[in-house]
A and B are shown apart, each in its own frame.
Chain A
């Protein structure tokens, strides 16, 4: 949706813009007020059919086919699965939307991007099809991070064992654990 690109700061940001907009009105006149501006426009055309502020039928003029297609996408996009991500040693946590990624590899790439200053994605050994073991590497001191997650039962699991969709449903939070701490999780096991 367009609001997700707010990070790239669109030129118009709503109320702020309206407040700072320069107009030709005298100081203290009511037309600097945003809602008055709209009313001023409407009032001078009193003979017109009332201009609808609510959505009019068939407006904006977008074909039903296109509306439906986008609505399906929006519905899919709204099924967000936001979970917290903690990285050992980082000063704050992040949140990632599991539903927005197609699989383990995109997720780990996204995590890498989030903590980009300190991590690089590193594939450990040749994976068989599907989930190869992946680890994140601190490019500064070479420390490895093992992605783990807490599942519905409260157990801490290694990321990558279960099919992606099952993981999305059962994952409650993610922790990138320093591998020096992860001794009990056997990261070099080969996967089915």
Chain B
């Protein structure tokens, strides 16, 4: 192939959109590496600390679409301290310097500031899509900057972010010349928006296909908007609380009649059951429905609506739907592929209206089901076995029994056999979350059968190190492993440490791992960052015999070419007894912290949230040719 001109090779590469394939071809030779990197248009960075932002920007100067993910998944559940990291600024700055052609930026679980949004808005003349998921750190002022300066903006999609509200002005910042919007989602914005500005914006956006409003938008405004968007495919309503009989509802009904392309509905904030009847005529054409933010709807309301949704493929509901409602889902929604049942009440010892029976019913009635997230208070092995037989196509199976360690409610046995059936039957399973009473046996099944598994979430499960080792040894495709409150210690952590290089990350919290185990791991695997987070006061134990090193509260291990993080919170220096061997633990002074490339492991202590016992990051600064 070396005698082909570069343009030809580049053209051949254009048929390889998948990042994995492009990474592979770039390893063949220097020429291919160069051609590939200059023609790469989409870059996905699954862990923002796995690689330096500057390196990415330098390698791929012509990137058009960049995706970066920050905090580990368990940050969603407040397990990661707020100042841990995941900052977007280095990425936006590096892209601003090196990738002027950037058009799309997607970020998940990152800390984004208004300054960064301002820089983003001004740096990329062709910028057209911003997607922020579960991010924080910015306000509506940052959105105002995006609206004002991104002249070609097509997509502004804000999903479940924590956004500081500084008033409704941001929406009015879209200039009159902005007519390119295709997708606008501001459901997570808490404050009011100017109805007139919104209506005008929608009126001049003929390509608008997806619109998700926030709670403040009234029925009246919604009706007016929908009159202008007959081609809308995805709608997130505002609040639906007004008096049913008023003019607005009549207008809404006639506007909705025109929306023949509408396929997906969400929102339903504060929805009163009576308002739902306005939606009934649409149900027959819906493929996606999210009612999970409508606790005001009870089972009978939900049943009346869902029984009409015969083409539904994706359904998100609260457990108010009850087993009876799930039976209706099973008999009405034969095309269902994804089901999520969220808890309406977070009290772990309470009761929910959904049980294993509802899940069995859905598995019987919806053979295409491949993705499940199910919160409930009880489960049985028998039910899981039936579900596994009925739905062998699961790729995502997440079951959360609210009470930790709860056994099969009928037999009082662990749920090992049930989950065993799932992994045995569902040969394409990529993501699994397990719960309830579980012994090492379930991990033996997972290691043995879940060969395609990429992500595994474990909570309050297992008996011994063997459990985790089954997984580490058996699941050849595992990329992300997250564990909390399970009895896995150093032996499990170190049992197959070479595997961590093939994984994106490992999270362990409230397990039995000790500091020593972390030190050993860091010394054996220079290409990992081993981050230890201890938030409690245990300083007196630190001086004791190091054999009895205290347990590590939270551990986050990930492969990286970036070496030590330079944005870890609040450096402090500590003194650890030196160990013989490959320089695992050394006394550090603050100056040596910044000396990367010394080849020695440095033990760096940092406090989180003012705790006296310092957390420890064990780094191996390392230079890696990219």
Cross-chain contact A49 with B487 (CB below 8 angstroms) = yes
B131 to chain A, nearest CB (A): 16
Q: How far is the CA of A130 from the CA of B486 in the complex (A)?
A: 60
For residue B274, CB closer than 8 A to chain A, the reply is yes
Cross-chain contact B78 with A58 (CB below 8 angstroms) = yes
Residues of A within 8 A of B320 (CB): 1-2, 4-5
For residue A42, CB closer than 8 A to chain B, the reply is yes
Partner of B300, one of A8, A13, A101, A105: A8
Query: Which B residues form the contact surface with A (CB < 8 A)?
Result: 74, 76-79, 134, 160-162, 188, 241-247, 269-270, 272, 274, 292-296, 298-300, 318-320, 322-324, 342-353, 355, 357, 375, 377-378, 400, 402, 404-407, 409-412, 433, 437, 439, 457, 459-460, 462-464, 484-487, 510-512
Task: Give the nearest-CB partner of A74 in chain B.
Answer: B295
For residue A143, CB closer than 8 A to chain B, the reply is no
Known: A2-B352, A12-B378, A65-B134. A105 touches B244 (CB 8 A): yes
Task: Give the nearest-CB partner of A8 in chain B.
Answer: B299
Q: How far is the CA of A49 from the CA of B459 in the complex (A)?
A: 11
Task: Give the nearest-CB partner of B241 in chain A.
Answer: A102
List 24 A–B pairs whose Cβ atoms lie within 8 Å, in order of A's numbering. A1-B345, A4-B320, A5-B298, A8-B324, A12-B378, A14-B351, A23-B411, A24-B411, A48-B486, A52-B485, A53-B349, A58-B77, A59-B404, A60-B348, A60-B400, A63-B160, A64-B78, A76-B270, A77-B296, A102-B242, A103-B246, A104-B243, A105-B243, A106-B272
Q: How far is the CA of A129 from the CA of B248 in the complex (A)?
A: 12
Partner of A77, one of B77, B295, B342, B463: B295
Query: Which A residues form the contact surface with B (CB < 8 A)?
Result: 1-5, 8, 10-14, 21-24, 31, 37-38, 40-42, 45, 47-49, 51-53, 55-67, 69-70, 73-74, 76-77, 100-106, 109, 129, 164
- Going nearest first, the 6 A-B pairs with the smallest beta carbon separation are A103-B243, A58-B77, A65-B160, A51-B405, A10-B353, A105-B245
Supplied contacts A2-B353, A62-B77, A65-B161, 20 more A-B pairs, CB within 8 Å: A10-B323, A10-B353, A23-B412, A24-B411, A38-B406, A41-B406, A48-B463, A49-B485, A51-B405, A53-B349, A58-B484, A60-B343, A60-B348, A62-B346, A63-B76, A64-B77, A65-B160, A65-B188, A106-B243, A129-B246
A11 to chain B, nearest CB (A): 6
Cross-chain contact A102 with B412 (CB below 8 angstroms) = no
Residues of A within 8 A of B324 (CB): 8
Residues of A within 8 A of B342 (CB): 62, 66
Residues of B within 8 A of A8 (CB): 299-300, 322, 324, 353
Cross-chain contact A60 with B402 (CB below 8 angstroms) = yes
Residues of A within 8 A of B357 (CB): 11
Task: Give the nearest-CB partner of A103 in chain B.
Answer: B243
Q: How far is the CA of A61 from the CA of B482 in the complex (A)?
A: 13
Cross-chain contact B78 with A11 (CB below 8 angstroms) = no
Q: Which of A62, A101, A105: most chain B CB closer than 10 A?
A: A62
Residues of B within 8 A of A37 (CB): 407, 412
Q: Which of B242, B344, B462: most chain A CB closer than 10 A?
A: B344
